[in-house]
Chains A and B, each alone.
Chain A
């Protein structure tokens, strides 16, 4: 009490591991879990973390859908997250903080993987029997983060576990795009020996690796290889299409029933300070209606997307060339539409999942003046689910996983690979029809009475007649949009099909007559195919990073 000895000056952090304690199996497991945990792109920052992940959603709704013609920015007016409004219109600058946040989130993922690998590498197999398996998982995870970097950014520094801690900033971005892809693919390939044994459903197994390989090959146009790895997934018999689309998009209890191959694993009541480890990146995408007690109304389906669900009333096939010639009006329930429309998109007058209070109406749509009457409906949890995070804020968040790769995606990649290789076009047709048939057989959205279909749903399969490579390609691309819309794929698809310029400039023109703020939009390729390296990172690197020359 009269004054202690100098030992008092030696204080160590409470409840924290220090570096010397990392090389144990328990610490390694913890580092691996943390590497997984970054899949939701939620990171600790000085702002409103974890909520601030809204600015860098792992689902890429802002980086992909809002730039693709599938979704408007939404929210409370064009000034609400104005930097995203700029991106929506093709006005992309390196000082846009949304770009910096994405870059940072993904490199945190990379960093967590590298730290886990360092720890794992320090252990012997005897000390940690799961060592090899965990290393493989982490390498696939690292590929996942780099993959997201690659499709968003043209060029970036590649850092692996051989770079000493603290030296990461010295790595230049001097690899060619091919070299970057090779490294990503090599990491994914490390995962194809992880046994599929049904344990730890959220972890990566060999089929996740094969599915990811397929995706990477599709992006690099290696269709033969894509075909082979897609077959590994399909022939494994472990995955299938869920028979009920509404539960696929709404119910956390079915998310391991075979359709989701890789997803953000979310949980509630797990001790987290805000009720759960949830997909904060998609917080803003809930409609503001009574179903969730509120919502922010971002990520709003475009009229163009809604129109694409119109079908030929006889064949039930999409109107590949004419779909946007006229608008499906907001309350039109008589025109024949693909039943997936009302599973994916909130339309006035249509029941909202299992919410019984009232049907979706334009009053649920925030700032309908600017962003129209529709809301995203897909991948928002059932309002009555017991696995919601709360009865109000954070709205439609809960234990519902967000899918990165679904089985339907793999089926469509395989079909696309076949079409591009121009072989077995009928098998490709069969694959597309498999996806369509599921939609056809799935229970459709009913009126509040629970009996009557809510609209005129018609869907058919593609016939063999007239199934040429060109037609098949067009049908495949359209099918990807219908099946996978609002899940962060569309923009990257447009870019890899080299279709972004034509589609988007046409979209700005036509959609601009309906949503006038879009009229000034302009898509310039190849510049806008990728985002620039964030200005802040260029500045911090002091010449170590070379900006994408298109910026």
Chain B
């Protein structure tokens, strides 16, 4: 490589011999600024003859009049000039602000996007935010290569974000940096306040955040004042959402038919407490003997889910005078849940200001205060599917209809939700920082930043008395929860920049201190004479039943340094080193050192390249290579280096006095310590290419990476004989993620009336556990999955359901399988020993997709604009917990309509096992029967907008007014037959599990306006 760099300029010099004609001279400068541009490419279009500008921006070249001079410079718009004389000609190049000159924040400093040599995704916020969502991550989902985001449909939306694969067994969350300070999450942030978002994906880019960066880093910068006069923007939208999917469940009559058919298949008398004892099920007038609960035929999904209203209002004020600026944002967002009585509400105010104190000193702050929270669903959702349809919504006494006799044990989902409707949780969050920038002398800047992220959380849960079918609660209870989280951080950085000729140096050194403190309290009480909202306080209760409280703290102290060097805009080099100390590790292992280096070569600036026919078509070509290490301490708990014994009332305490009303204090092991636990490290190598064609109108960023996590922090399952307590965390295991990702964007000529751009992101990541456990061969079992070396994390584990037995011959020919028979599931004799035993369990599929991709289209014609966003995910398996009741009538609950099509001798092609009330074939064992193909393609959003003509709006002193209509999730294509193809990780070893309680996603249509004054 190095040899090549030396040789290439020599070769170029040789090639640059030219004939004698007219000698044209000139100067190339920037617009605005009129700064000379060094190294701009100057080409005679007709002959391909080329040169470049010198340090004064001057050039001279042989040409003939009438020919065209093409002047291009990286990051500038290309200019074409007809040659009329020998000059000197002055050519001004306008900045190509759209794409590459953009300044991005990459870690304690900012740099030009074009100089990026790591794998950094810069999100196009304006496009992402066309998709309006309460949760920023929902808008971003699918738009960044290498970044997978999964959400659920709950109001406010729970989202998990994962950058470049699962590198750690449990905690793969990235680090969020909001306006320069680390934050645990982005709750309470309004998407409207965000001006840019970058994702640092490779280790070299993230290494400056060393300690916590192994899951990648998401950098969010909020808006700054940018208008000369006070700029005012107002945005509002309101929309309606409905469930994206329903499961087809049996109705009251069909339930009886399925039950009776199952009994007949079992050779049992067709008799049921509700459906009678005749040959066919009969729906009685009343369900209970007291005749208070009339029979009904309820579709509980339809009763529970509604057309829910979403609304958001945002006001932004900004001003920038003499380099001092302020931005004020006020946002209100309210999202009703699809399920009745649930919602999410957020109000926040942000004030960002930057004040230039003197020529050398500026100070500023970025702060947001927000209050957010809502009414969650109290676990009512599974009952929307499984409540018996024959149970009425309300009985004749006005109570919610509940199960009686053998109608299951589920409370009415609506009753459950209604009783919970005032159980609102609230978080009050203050997030922000103050900073000072001091220019010590030319090129050297000192920055101090002090940040705070404080969250006060309150939730009260009141459970009133009620009667519902055979369920009742005769004593109301109240639990009040409160917690405080305080995260402080302080950063000092020194940033030095020096440009000398073709050399650009930049050095950064810093010190960071982070302290996290958490406290929580809760109190419970029982028995309320009066249950109205005024009495839902602890003091109104008859008995206090429990008081709990606790806390935790951790601290991080880090030093870091970074050195960047660029030569002639062509060779870019960057190296970082960071040392982190964490209180989570024991003495001797607190510190980890994380180095990284990256190299970039802007080939397109090389004359030898520019002057080739290929080179003249290429507007930008940069090769990138990076290597680096990042740390991870998230998987361990705050004090897990040491063995702790605690009182845990529910487990350690015991009434040794036999009093019935007290429990003596006991101590149990809650954590088995490992003083040798140290940082988990991920080492990542990234090779990338940035390629711009057609004056960068077609742009490709592609990366290939290998990310290897070593010293994986794992929490092994301990043999029972070791006793209790969290198993010691150990460093034992390696995981490798190999991936390929690209972003391909195209925009058409600016001159065209119809303007459009298209972006395609693509990511394919392969995950493999290389070794696990102290001997490298350990096996971790989740309830549905198994982690073992040689397989991806989360690989499902179980039997292979090999279709149904359709003929007696098939039954007879099959291996010994207890309970096998016609219409039953045939489990595969994987080890071929002639019997179905636990040894026949095997790896049955991965929850990780083979690839995922997003396609964004943005277009505008005159005053109309349109954007479309599609995303897809291919090749992942979903474990559908709903299969348990949906496809088997073995549990007293409603079932899927598919059971009407179950296998029978007269319906021999069905894939649904024959109906039975017994489970002799043990068909609910973990098997492929529960797995579905999670691949999908959807149109995630479509937005149509119309900007009112200027001549109308200017009369009202409005600078811009746009109205838009938006649709989300309107088109979905998937083979998955379950309720929802999007699955959120639940923090266990089981990935890709669609739980019965999953909050289904919605589709929505909304209407909105954007106004600027």
Contacts and interface: CB of A to CB of B under 8 A. Distances in A.
Given A34-B667, A516-B266, A201 B657 contact: yes
B850 to A, nearest CB: 30
A274 interface: yes
B517 to A, nearest CB: 10
Interface in B660-680: 660-672
Interface string A12-53: 111111110110000100111111110100111010011000
B657 A44 contact: no
Given A2-B490, A104-B720, A369 B922 contact: no
A333 B490 CA distance: 80
Contacts of B515: 4, 8
Interface stretch (A218-226, A388-396, A472-480): A388-396
A111 interface: yes
Given A3-B513, A8-B583, A273-B546, A33 B555 contact: no
Contacts of A450: none
A316 interface: no
B582 interface: yes
Nearest to A80: B891
B649 A273 contact: yes
A391 B465 contact: yes
A314 interface: no
A529 interface: no
A4 B266 contact: no
Given A16-B645, A370-B917, A516-B266, A36 B409 contact: no
A465 interface: no
Contacts of B650: 42, 44, 49-50, 272-274, 277
A21 B646 CA distance: 12
B892 A366 contact: yes
A265 B550 CA distance: 27
Interface in A421-472: none
A170 to B, nearest CB: 9
A537 B720 contact: yes
Nearest to A106: B720
Given A86-B922, A363-B273, A294 B646 contact: no
B924 interface: yes
Given A34-B654, A201-B657, A202-B657, A8 B643 contact: no
A82 interface: yes
A517 B590 contact: no
Interface string A91-116: 10111000010011001101110110
Contacts of A266: 655, 660
A293 interface: yes
In this complex, the member of B273, B471, B557, B664 whose beta carbon has the largest number of chain A beta carbons within 10 angstroms is B664
Contact of A77 (B666, B819, B891): B891
B656 A200 contact: yes
Interface string A351-365: 000000000011111
Nearest to A12: B639
Contacts of A293: 471-474
Contacts of A85: 919
Given A19-B643, A268-B661, A78 B405 contact: no
A289 interface: yes
A516 B722 contact: no
A535 interface: yes
B889 to A, nearest CB: 8
Contacts of A200: 656-658
A89 to B, nearest CB: 8
Given A79-B919, A269-B543, A270-B655, A9 B642 contact: no
Nearest to A79: B890
B920 interface: yes
B920 A367 contact: no
A541 B719 contact: yes
Interface residues of B, number: 115
Given A3-B490, A399-B661, A275 B545 contact: yes
B554 interface: yes
A267 interface: yes
In this complex, the member of B404, B649, B668, B818 whose beta carbon has the largest number of chain A beta carbons within 10 angstroms is B668
Contacts of A366: 406, 409, 892
Contacts of A268: 660-661
Interface residues of A, number: 118
Nearest to B920: A520
Contacts of A313: none
Contacts of B671: 13, 16
Contacts of A541: 719
Contact of B639 (A11, A89, A168, A256): A11
B470 A363 contact: yes
A188 B665 CA distance: 25
A334 interface: no
B409 A76 contact: yes
B526 to A, nearest CB: 7
A115 B669 contact: yes
A290 interface: yes
Given A79-B890, A168-B723, A43 B651 contact: yes
B667 A272 contact: no
A2 B581 CA distance: 17
A520 B661 contact: no
B557 A8 contact: yes
A157 interface: yes
Given A33-B654, A108-B723, A517-B920, A16 B644 contact: yes
Given A265-B658, A277-B653, A290-B470, A15 B550 contact: yes
A296 interface: yes
A34 B273 contact: no
Contact of B272 (A13, A369, A537): A369
B988 interface: yes
A33 B490 contact: no
Nearest to B670: A16
A72 to B, nearest CB: 13
Contacts of A126: none
A331 B550 CA distance: 54
A321 interface: no
A497 to B, nearest CB: 28
A12 B893 contact: no
Nearest to A90: B818
B5 interface: no
Contacts of A44: 648, 650-651, 668, 670, 724
Contacts of A270: 649, 653, 655, 661-663
In this complex, the member of B526, B582, B650, B924 whose beta carbon has the largest number of chain A beta carbons within 10 angstroms is B650
B721 interface: yes
B583 A112 contact: no
Interface string B518-558: 00000010100000000000000001011110111111110
Given A252-B660, A274-B650, A517-B917, A288 B409 contact: yes
In this complex, the member of B409, B547, B554, B779 whose beta carbon has the largest number of chain A beta carbons within 10 angstroms is B409
Contacts of B924: 79, 82
A78 B663 CA distance: 37
A344 to B, nearest CB: 22
A76 B893 contact: yes
A363 B663 contact: no
A42 to B, nearest CB: 6
Contacts of B273: 362-363, 368-369
Interface of B: 263, 266-268, 271-273, 288-289, 404-406, 408-409, 448, 450, 465, 470-475, 477, 490, 492, 511-513, 515, 524, 526, 543, 545-548, 550-557, 581-584, 587, 590, 638-639, 642-672, 717-724, 775, 779, 781, 818-819, 837-838, 841, 884, 888-893, 917-920, 922, 924-925, 988
Q: When A and B form their complex, which 6 residue pairs have the shortest distance between CB atoms, in order from nearest?
A: A111-B723, A79-B890, A391-B475, A391-B474, A201-B658, A392-B473
Given A37-B668, A363-B470, 10 more contacts: A8-B555, A13-B646, A34-B652, A80-B891, A267-B662, A270-B653, A271-B653, A272-B650, A277-B654, A517-B919
6 contacts: A8-B513, A30-B647, A36-B666, A77-B891, A520-B819, A540-B719
